[in-house]
Chains A and B, each alone.
Chain A
């Protein structure tokens, strides 16, 4: 057996090598093929972990729940329910508003931090970047609970303010409402916003800022005319990185949102859980994805317009 394999291998060697070489040469010549070859592990993983579940989700959304099993006949019923009951769209819009606020707050908080590390820190930049990730060494849940402790009725802020005599009774508006959700999420996602902005700021050629100064612009105008536009890719990346996942978040609204801070993720979770209506849950999730895609496209279109207007 081994012998025969050797013989056939020897016989096949010349033409097979030629073929391999030819394929390799073709692959080297065509940029796209090389690109796909490099991407293929990622693509396979994406296919398995993203496309397949997505396909299942979409299929599921056209089925109907029958107590314990599914009625597999194709139907738009879930979507009809989705649009007939105002709660779904209302919650979706509220979720988009909340995570929009989260995105804004996060980017506004992240930008100065990223700016500081990129421009003012001369030594040990890596240490600063690692410091930023320190909160992530604890669990997400723990951090949300920590905020609950900080913002709570008898929490750090309230008891602190009472001890200082600033207020007489605990403030009630800081926990169990959308503001608490925004505060908690903005903190939770800060590092994800800082890093892309930091990278885009770090990439800016320092001589461009000197050129701006040389051409008569003071620090503020140099920032607005050079630094800010050149860091736009980082801002956009950060915004998407924060906006997309937070819209569907359900842990934070569940723990600190109270009745008014509920988001669409909570509905989806309960439909897949207590309410036990997977198909409607799937339809709600599909609509959320669709809506978020629309918002993101509108956002990208808008930033493109702004950049073209400025240029």
Chain B
């Protein structure tokens, strides 16, 4: 356990009646960072967060918060606060009562607490809401009140369980920016649970991707997107084309792979040592493929195919290209620079795909 980690999760598992909701997780969360837990529904994100808050106790392993073992510490004595998925606003109290709820033992006088509440209302941009009833708030307002109620306690760590899940897209994007700015301002460590990969990438310093109770990869957003280490992560974050491949040559950190319809590709091998003859997965993102209607020069990586269906997405289009020797079409992203989208109504035309050497990601075959 190093000093830079405010939370250290060591070999933690949680079983519910035989179901391994969280399976042998090791994780260090740094002081002051915006850390996200990302994964599909049911992968154990909430369970892990609830173990940090103390509402569930690990079946195995230990959690340290600020160097202190948490197993014997009940929720109300932990230096963390939580923003619940349902917000859990107290319906019998007004906004002030909700925000001030945790201040009973703060040692501040009533007027000092009220002043703090006003400050918090200012911060969450709801001034003048103090005497509103809890039932008279919109979803976005409830979410902010839940945030203020947790932040007024000045916790070492703030836990957020999909706090933006119930909001519409516009408000969601606005709250993402506000939350991120707020976190930088108050300097509190945020642990943020989401199943929305875009949200995790835009907000976080680092993201842990979970699947079936395990943490698969912990990285910054760019590392996660550009250098996934498993097929699951590559698939879950953004869109990815996968090809089966066989290693033909491997030396000095680069490998030459026979990737079927893509032909011979060269790519940097990451930490993984790929042995000659091994079956691996070759992955490439749609926006890293360049589509042309004429054959490009001979020096680059090229594959030839026929134009398939196209999906118009407004700012860009996803074109699907059929390569010979492969059933599944390859997705190619094209920025729609002109008014008329490329590739629409050009089905069956011969096209060429080309890419740079560093566009390829090699993944172990699972």
**Interface set of A (CB-CB < 8 Å, partner B):** 205, 207-208, 210-218, 221-222, 225-226, 229-230, 307, 310-311
Once A205-B86, A207-B84 are accepted as A-B contacts, the answer to whether A215 and B101 lie under 8 Å apart by CB is yes
- Is the CB–CB distance between B88 and A216 below 8 Å? no
Count of A-B contacts with CB under 8 A? Answer: 65
Q: Is the interface of A mostly helix, strand, loop or mixed?
A: helix
Q: When the two chains form their complex, are residues A216 and B153 in contact, meaning their CB atoms are under 8 A apart?
A: yes
In the complex the two chains form, what is the Cα distance from A215 to B155 in whole Å? 10
Q: Say yes or no: B75 contacts A213, CB within 8 Å.
A: yes
- CB-based contact A226/B53 at 8 Å: no
Can you list 13 pairs linking A and B with CB atoms under 8 Å apart? A205-B88, A210-B53, A212-B90, A212-B101, A213-B54, A216-B105, A216-B153, A217-B104, A218-B74, A218-B76, A225-B101, A311-B92, A311-B97
CB distance from A231 to the nearest CB of B (A): 10
Tell me the smallest distance from the CB of B72 to a CB of chain A, in Å. Answer: 15
B100 to chain A, nearest CB (A): 10
Q: Does B55 contact A (CB under 8 A)?
A: yes
Which chain B residues in 78-133 approach chain A with CB under 8 Å?
A: 80-82, 84, 86, 88, 90-94, 97, 101-102, 104-105
User: B74, B90, B93, B97: which contacts A213 (Cβ < 8 A)?
Assistant: B74
- Check if B91 sits within 8 Å of A230, measured CB to CB: yes
Q: Is A229 a contact of B92 with CB atoms below 8 Å?
A: yes
CB–CB B88/A211 < 8 A: yes
Spell out B's residues near A (CB within 8 Å).
Answer: 53-55, 74-77, 80-82, 84, 86, 88, 90-94, 97, 101-102, 104-105, 149-150, 153
Residue of A nearest to B80 (CB): A214
Q: Smallest distance from the beta carbon of B7 to chain A beta carbons, Å?
A: 16
A311 pairs with B94, CB closer than 8 A? yes
Tell me the nearest residue of chain A to B75, going by C-beta.
A213
Contact of A214 among B75, B86, B97 (CB under 8 A): B75
A226 to B88, CA, bound (A): 11
The chain A residue sitting closest to B53, CB to CB, is A214
A207 and B88 in contact, given A214-B82, A215-B81, A225-B101 (Cβ under 8 angstroms): yes
- Taking A216-B153, A311-B97 as contacts, is the C-beta distance between A210 and B88 under 8 angstroms? yes
Nearest CB of B to A108, in Å: 22
